[in-house]
């Protein structure tokens, strides 16, 4: 019964395979050599069938082969003609499907061989042809060794690719935490996997043995509740204080920092420097116009010395406080080298303060990559252009920074003054204008 | 064989029939038996097969976007043949890439791992393992499946909408998801997503309420809570968690529907979209994130807890050992459930939430690692000195433990707010959750399928194909997700259509190609499962009543799967479900329905705690036994 059923399945599989083969070859023949088309396919399919039929191992396959040739020959011209047009598209698809089917048949044959072997052993009265428990247990041991080797390799190669020194002051503390966490977790990963796969290998089943009845051991359970708890407490405390030291900046320090604003929109960043007063002018999204794309409120005198820049340029070793905003949807202000990230939320300014440690030039030397650049990415899904929403970031010496800043023009220039005349309503502004 | 199954459509009949062994033949139509079935076992199968189909769809979507990531500058004309304008010129478009990612996530998280897993195994196992004839409300149960089915159809149907399916990520953060102008997927596709999700949650709630009331009210005689298998504990606690957290997602979704369609401003404020000033003021996108993750975090435990339950059962059965620390396992489940409700903020460390709050969430998050660690160590202790029988189910259970360790450990990075600054939304998090809730939970689900297939279909699956399936899946999943950690550490963001625009990502292009090949091979490996599963339904070797020599009650029901489960009276339960290899007993398992009076030789003092009468009887028997033995020796 079982055998019969299996053969039926294989017949179906064989039929599918042969049909695919026939179609594929005819299509190939059509495209490659149209003149030879009428004869070539028939010549090709027959040997192909001959190749597959031994795989069936049994007489059951023979009728299949014959019916196949009967049915597929008259059918061939029609699909071939239809597919001649889309042939290049389909050819590689058919090729891969065919490859897969061959692999399936191959696996099926292996399964069959194993089954025949097992049955024959059984008929000879020899017990347990293949001890699958032993095989699987052994595979776990192999897996353990290969897995640990592979883990080492990935840590070595890919780890090397991904580990770059942080280029900011707080980044050092993050990297320190990261190192501790990697050390602890890797240790636990390796130990638990040695136990998991080792036990699987060592205690693989056998009919001669009974398992050890061991329902619980309170001391042991307490032990492995308390140890993780202690380790985690250490990590929590370290992490908590690191986090607070990064995010909880005193107001005094906030004032000392250079104030820069970045505003995200689909799919670019706008950068605004606070100017000589180091205070950003207010914004109101309702004031947004094509020329005043940030909606800066020019009634606020702090906005007059603000400068819009095409890139982020930062002086090295000086704290900088970014005010992060968004015009439309969520974005995320992310500079991996500084270990800096904060979402840009419409309607709610967010902040991140940090101190760059190395200039771009220094980083180029450190990484021995002359093309190195800090880069600002968007790291919150924001639409079609999300994968390319970037801005260049340059860290320079204080002197270079000052020179660069001086070159940048004021945003509230004469043109803008004409466009936004409401400014002149205020008396102090009039006097200022007179002075000029 | 299954033709002899006798089923009853009416509820009353279910309650009363079966006390006699002679079955009444109700002629059931195809419709009432297979489609609008109220039998929990049939509903479980409906959930499972729908879940498998959804999983295949989700997998195909993932292969599509993996192809894009591996070969960003190649064209595949065949894609255009199938996807039309979504892949013009044979390259997947940016918007559609995001749609693929979004729907892949949604399908896998909700439709496969939540309902495919809980829906299948809670339905199948709760009544069978606690000794009930059916669920508390079979009709509600049927409704739960059909709402799920409709919601699946709507979700998949969104691919046939002109503007494409939802594409704001599976977390659908507004304003992106609220503004159709921001991305085409936020048009009709998003409406369908939201409708589908509301139906899905309704389905999930009906299911959960049913599971809870069944577990609490319908246990057979002797089955007190501390005699329940860990599977039932896990399903029960999962249902509790679902009931507490899913309604919050409905609230979030309904408010989003209001924002989208009725001009409210719950999540919107100060928006200038492509030069157009929107009138919305006063809303907050952060509010949505709080509401979403209030469900979203418990959700990952809703996914992993049933997988834990299944694994506990499978590991214990196949090591022929009691699960180590049964009580600790239950308490750690409860601990995880409680803690999972107060950790949602760790998804929002850098979203602009008050940083102090982030610090608090970080503490609660790392605490949750303790009960998780206890579970892992208990699994390891269960394996120790076992007599491990490697069925495919057992292999997948070991796979779950491995994936859970690997994925759980990276959770320690992400739960740490200061490390999360640099890892948030990178490939590191992709690697983390695909291991810990994707691969681990799928392993749990597959372990369950292999283990309870005989109970569902009365036939066995093929072991050797199961082995092949396991090794392809296990190695494949590691090859796919392990390299992603390193990409994340380097700062490569997730949901990027291509890595071509940034200098520092170039070095990862080859790794991407490697990952895609691994994913394709692992995906093809699933064909072994699909073939095995569907072929075995019809052609598998007929199963015996208790093929795994298991203790739990479902294996005391006949192979024929009656409506009402047991032909006669429901058996009473006398012992916990893990009396495997008990010393003194002739066999290496004792079913839960075997009374202690039949196993005098193996009873332990611990078995009678608090029952002096039983202890006395046992002592007397032991004395007598010792005497008779002594006499024999003489």
pLDDT digits (tens, 9 = 90+) for B9-47: 333 344 444 344 444 455 677 777 788 888 999 999 999
Residue B32 DSSP label: I
What pLDDT does residue A22 have? 56
ipTM of the modeled complex: 0.90
Contacts of A312 (CB under 8 A, 6+ apart): A260, A262, A271, A376, A391, A392, A393, A394
A384/B98 Cβ within 8 A: yes
Residue A182 sits at φ, ψ, to 5 deg, of -60, -45
Chain B interface test: which of A135, A162, A339 (most B C-beta within 10 Å):
A162
Say how far apart CA A431 and CA B355 lie, in whole Å. 44
pLDDT band at B518; cut points 50, 70, 90? very high
A213/B493 Cβ within 8 A: no
Q: With 80 as the cut, is the pLDDT of residue B448 above it?
A: yes
Set of chain B residues whose Cβ sits within 8 Å of the Cβ of A198: none
Average of per-residue pLDDT across A251-258:
92
Average of per-residue pLDDT across B414-435:
94
Say if CB A192 and CB A253 are below 8 A apart: no
- Please state, rounded to an integer, the average pLDDT across all residues of chain B: 90
Set of chain B residues whose Cβ sits within 8 Å of the Cβ of A229: 370
B169/A386 Cβ within 8 A: no
B362 in A contact zone (CB under 8 Å) = yes
B322/A215 Cβ within 8 A: yes
pLDDT band at A51; cut points 50, 70, 90? very low
Lowest mean pLDDT among A76-85, B250-259, B569-578: A76-85
Q: With 50 as the cut, is the pLDDT of residue B2 above it?
A: no
**Residue A294: exposure state from Cβ atoms within 10 A (0-12, 13-18, ≥19):** buried
Q: With 60 as the cut, is the pLDDT of residue A259 above it?
A: yes
Q: With 50 as the cut, is the pLDDT of residue A358 above it?
A: yes
What pLDDT does residue B628 have? 85
pLDDT band at A209; cut points 50, 70, 90? confident
For residue range B337-375, list pLDDT tens digits in order.
999 999 999 999 999 888 899 999 999 998 899 999 999
What pLDDT does residue A128 have? 62
Q: Two tokens at B522?
A: 């692992």
Chain A interface test: which of B352, B360, B539 (most A C-beta within 10 Å):
B352
Average of per-residue pLDDT across A319-341:
94
Name which of A225, A240, A285 is nearest B362 (Cβ-Cβ).
Answer: A240
Closest CA to B566 of B127, B219, B141: B127
What pLDDT does residue B29 have? 77
What pLDDT does residue A210 have? 87
Average of per-residue pLDDT across B404-425:
93
pLDDT more than 90, % of chain A: 48
Q: With 90 as the cut, is the pLDDT of residue B251 above it?
A: yes
A380/B425 Cβ within 8 A: yes
B463 Cα distance to chain centroid: 23
B497/A345 Cβ within 8 A: no
Average of per-residue pLDDT across A54-71:
39
Set of chain B residues whose Cβ sits within 8 Å of the Cβ of A350: 352
Name which of B374, B463, B471 is nearest A224 (Cβ-Cβ).
Answer: B374
For residue range A386-412, list pLDDT tens digits in order.
999 999 999 999 999 999 999 888 888
What pLDDT does residue B107 have? 95
Set of chain B residues whose Cβ sits within 8 Å of the Cβ of A376: none
Q: With 60 as the cut, is the pLDDT of residue B490 above it?
A: yes
Say how far apart CA B601 and CA B618 lie, in whole Å. 9
What pLDDT does residue B20 have? 40
Nearest C-alpha in B relative to A218 = B325
For residue range A120-171, list pLDDT tens digits in order.
888 887 766 678 888 999 999 999 999 999 999 999 999 988 888 899 999 9
- Closest approach of B124 to chain A, Cα-based (Å): 27
Window B:501-530, CB contacts with A under 8 Å = 501-504, 507-508, 511, 524, 527-528
Nearest C-alpha in B relative to A291 = B275
What pLDDT does residue A34 have? 41
B380/A240 Cβ within 8 A: no
Set of chain A residues whose Cβ sits within 8 Å of the Cβ of B173: 330, 380-381
Say if CB A307 and CB A409 are below 8 A apart: yes
Set of chain B residues whose Cβ sits within 8 Å of the Cβ of A163: 489
Say how far apart CA A283 and CA A390 lie, in whole Å. 23
Q: With 80 as the cut, is the pLDDT of residue A65 above it?
A: no
B326/A162 Cβ within 8 A: no
> Who has greater pLDDT, B477 or A6?
B477
- Please state, rounded to an integer, the average pLDDT across all residues of chain A: 80
Q: Two tokens at B544?
A: 């015996």
For residue range B595-633, list pLDDT tens digits in order.
988 888 888 877 887 788 888 888 888 888 888 888 877
pLDDT band at B122; cut points 50, 70, 90? very high
Average of per-residue pLDDT across B229-254:
94
Q: With 70 as the cut, is the pLDDT of residue B404 above it?
A: yes
- Closest approach of A163 to chain B, Cα-based (Å): 6
Q: With 50 as the cut, is the pLDDT of residue A43 above it?
A: no
Q: Two tokens at B499?
A: 């890595």
What pLDDT does residue A45 have? 39
B424 in A contact zone (CB under 8 Å) = yes
Set of chain B residues whose Cβ sits within 8 Å of the Cβ of A254: none
A246/B424 Cβ within 8 A: no
B334 in A contact zone (CB under 8 Å) = no
Q: Are strands A331-335 and A340-344 parallel, antiparallel or unpaired?
A: antiparallel
pLDDT band at A36; cut points 50, 70, 90? very low
pLDDT band at B482; cut points 50, 70, 90? very high
pLDDT band at A24; cut points 50, 70, 90? low
A203/B271 Cβ within 8 A: no
> Who has greater pLDDT, B291 or A84?
B291
Q: With 50 as the cut, is the pLDDT of residue B3 above it?
A: no
> Who has greater pLDDT, A331 or B21?
A331
pLDDT band at A234; cut points 50, 70, 90? very high
Q: Are strands A320-326 and A258-265 parallel, antiparallel or unpaired?
A: parallel
B216 in A contact zone (CB under 8 Å) = no
Average of per-residue pLDDT across B468-478:
95
Which residue is associated with the tokens 């320190």?
Answer: A176
Name which of A140, A163, A214 is nearest B489 (Cβ-Cβ).
Answer: A163
pTM for the structure as a whole: 0.88
The SS3 assignment for A159 reads: helix
Q: With 80 as the cut, is the pLDDT of residue A25 above it?
A: no
- Closest approach of A75 to chain B, Cα-based (Å): 24
Set of chain B residues whose Cβ sits within 8 Å of the Cβ of A93: 78
Q: Count CB pairs under 8 A between chains A and B.
A: 359
Set of chain A residues whose Cβ sits within 8 Å of the Cβ of B376: 192
Nearest C-alpha in B relative to A287 = B277
Q: With 70 as the cut, is the pLDDT of residue A267 above it?
A: yes
The SS3 assignment for A268 reads: strand
Say how far apart CA A91 and CA B76 lie, in whole Å. 12
Chain A interface test: which of B163, B419, B461, B475 (most A C-beta within 10 Å):
B419
| DSSP E strand boundaries for B304-447 | none
Name which of B77, B424, B581 is nearest A341 (Cβ-Cβ).
Answer: B424
- Closest approach of B165 to chain A, Cα-based (Å): 13
Which residue is associated with the tokens 């929990």?
Answer: B40
Closest CA to B123 of B48, B196, B56: B48
Residue A289 sits at φ, ψ, to 5 deg, of -135, 170
The SS3 assignment for B614 reads: helix
């Amino acid at each position: 019964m079982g055998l019969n059923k299996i053969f039926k399945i294989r017949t179906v599989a064989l039929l599918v395979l042969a049909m695919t083969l026939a179609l594929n070859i005819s299509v190939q023949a059509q495209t490659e050599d149209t003149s030879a088309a009428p004869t070539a396919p028939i010549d090709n399919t027959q040997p192909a069938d001959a190749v597959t039929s031994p795989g069936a191992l049994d007489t059951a396959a023979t009728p299949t082969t014959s019916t196949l040739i009967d049915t597929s020959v008259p059918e061939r011209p029609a699909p071939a003609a239809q597919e001649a047009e889309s042939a290049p598209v389909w050819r590689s698809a058919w090729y891969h499907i065919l490859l897969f089917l061959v692999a399936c048949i191959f696996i099926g044959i292996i399964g069959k061989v194993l089954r025949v072997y097992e049955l024959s052993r059984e008929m000879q009265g020899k017990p347990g042809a293949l001890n699958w428990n032993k095989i699987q247990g052994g595979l776990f041991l192999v897996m353990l060794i290969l897995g640990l080797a592979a883990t080492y390799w990935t840590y070595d190669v890919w780890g090397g690719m991904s580990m770059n020194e942080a280029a900011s002051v707080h980044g050092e503390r993050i990297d320190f935490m990261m190192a501790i966490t990697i050390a602890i977790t890797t240790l636990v990963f390796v130990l638990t996997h040695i136990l998991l796969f080792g036990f699987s290998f060592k205690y693989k089943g056998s009919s001669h043995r009974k398992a050890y009845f061991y329902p619980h051991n309170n001391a042991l359970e307490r032990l492995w509740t308390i140890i993780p708890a202690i380790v985690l407490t250490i990590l929590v405390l370290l992490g908590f204080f690191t986090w607070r030291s990064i995010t909880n900046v005193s107001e005094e320090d906030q004032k000392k920092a250079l104030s820069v604003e970045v505003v995200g929109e689909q799919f670019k960043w706008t950068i605004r420097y606070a100017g000589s007063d180091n205070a950003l002018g207010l914004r109101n999204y309702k004031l947004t116009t094509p020329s005043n794309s940030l909606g800066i409120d020019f009634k606020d005198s702090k906005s007059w010395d603000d400068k819009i820049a095409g890139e982020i340029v930062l002086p090295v070793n000086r704290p900088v406080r970014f005010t992060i905003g968004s015009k439309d949807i969520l974005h995320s202000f992310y500079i991996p080298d500084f270990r800096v990230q904060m979402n840009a939320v419409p309607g709610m300014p967010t902040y991140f303060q940090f101190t760059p440690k190395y200039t771009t030039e220094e980083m180029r030397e450190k990484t021995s990559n002359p093309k190195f650049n800090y880069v600002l990415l968007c790291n919150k899904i924001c639409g079609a252009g999300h994968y390319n929403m970037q801005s260049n970031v340059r860290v320079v010496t204080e002197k270079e920074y000052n020179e660069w800043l001086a070159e940048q023009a004021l945003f509230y220039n004469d043109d803008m003054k004409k466009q936004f005349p409401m400014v002149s309503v205020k008396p102090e502004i009039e006097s200022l204008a007179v002075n000029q | 064989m299954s033709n002899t199954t006798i089923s009853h459509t009416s509820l009353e009949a279910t309650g009363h029939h079966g006390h006699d062994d002679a079955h009444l033949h109700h002629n059931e139509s195809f419709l009432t038996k297979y489609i609008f079935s109220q039998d929990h076992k049939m509903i479980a199968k409906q959930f499972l097969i729908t879940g498998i189909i959804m999983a295949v769809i989700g997998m195909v979507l993932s292969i599509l976007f993996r192809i894009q990531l591996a070969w960003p500058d190649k064209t595949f004309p065949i894609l255009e043949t199938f996807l039309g304008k979504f892949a013009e010129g044979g390259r997947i478009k940016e918007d559609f890439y995001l749609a693929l990612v979004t729907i892949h996530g949604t399908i896998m998280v909700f439709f496969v791992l939540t309902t495919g897993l809980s829906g299948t195994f809670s339905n199948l196992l709760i009544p069978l393992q606690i000794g009930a004839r059916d669920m508390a409300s079979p009709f509600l149960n049927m409704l739960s499946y059909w709402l799920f089915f409709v919601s699946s159809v709507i979700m998949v149907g969104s691919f046939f909408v002109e503007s494409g399916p939802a594409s704001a990520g599976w977390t659908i953060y507004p304003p992106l998801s609220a503004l159709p102008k921001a991305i085409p997927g936020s048009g009709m596709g998003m409406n369908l997503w939201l409708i589908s999700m509301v139906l899905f949650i309704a389905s999930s709630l009906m299911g959960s309420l049913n599971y809870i009331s069944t577990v609490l009210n319908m246990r057979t005689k002797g089955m007190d809570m501390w005699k329940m298998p860990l599977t039932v504990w896990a399903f029960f606690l999962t249902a509790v968690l679902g009931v507490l957290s899913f309604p919050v997602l409905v609230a979030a979704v309904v408010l989003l529907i209001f924002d989208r369609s009725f001009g409210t401003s719950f999540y919107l404020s100060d928006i200038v979209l492509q030069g157009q000033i929107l009138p919305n003021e006063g809303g907050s996108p952060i509010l949505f994130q709080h509401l979403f993750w209030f469900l979203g975090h418990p959700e990952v435990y809703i996914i992993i807890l049933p997988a834990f339950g299944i694994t506990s059962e499978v590991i214990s059965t196949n090591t022929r050992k009691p699960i180590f620390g049964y009580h600790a396992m239950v308490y750690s489940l409860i601990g995880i459930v409680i803690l999972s409700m107060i950790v949602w903020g760790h998804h929002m460390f850098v979203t602009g939430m008050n940083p102090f709050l982030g610090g608090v969430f970080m503490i609660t998050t790392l605490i949750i690692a303790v009960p998780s660690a206890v579970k892992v160590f208990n699994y390891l202790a269960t394996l120790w000195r076992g007599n491990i029988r490697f069925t495919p189910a057992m292999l997948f259970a070991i796979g779950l433990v491995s994936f859970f360790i690997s994925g759980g450990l990276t959770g320690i990075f992400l739960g740490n707010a200061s490390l999360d600054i640099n890892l948030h939304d990178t490939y590191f998090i992709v690697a983390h959750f695909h291991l810990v809730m994707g691969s681990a939970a799928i392993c749990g689900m597959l372990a369950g399928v292999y283990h309870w297939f005989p109970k569902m279909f009365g036939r066995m699956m093929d072991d050797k194909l199961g082995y092949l399936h396991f090794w392809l899946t296990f190695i494949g999943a590691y090859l796919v997700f392990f390299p992603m950690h390193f990409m994340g550490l380097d700062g490569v963001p997730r949901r990027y259509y291509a890595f071509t625009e940034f200098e520092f990502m170039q070095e990862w292009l080859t790794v991407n190609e490697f990952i895609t090949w691994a994913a394709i091979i692992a995906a093809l490996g699933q064909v072994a499962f699909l073939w095995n599963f569907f072929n075995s339904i019809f052609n598998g070797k007929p199963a015996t009543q208790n093929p795994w020599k298991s203790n739990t009650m479902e294996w005391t029901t006949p192979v024929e799967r009656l409506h009402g489960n047991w032909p006669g009276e429901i058996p009473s339960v006398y012992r916990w479900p893990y009396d495997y290899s008990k010393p003194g007993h002739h066999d290496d398992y004792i079913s839960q329905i075997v009374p202690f009076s039949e196993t005098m030789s193996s009873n332990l003092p611990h078995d009678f705690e608090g029952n002096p009468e039983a202890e006395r009887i046992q002592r007397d028997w032991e004395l007598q036994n010792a005497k008779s033995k002594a006499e024999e020796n003489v």
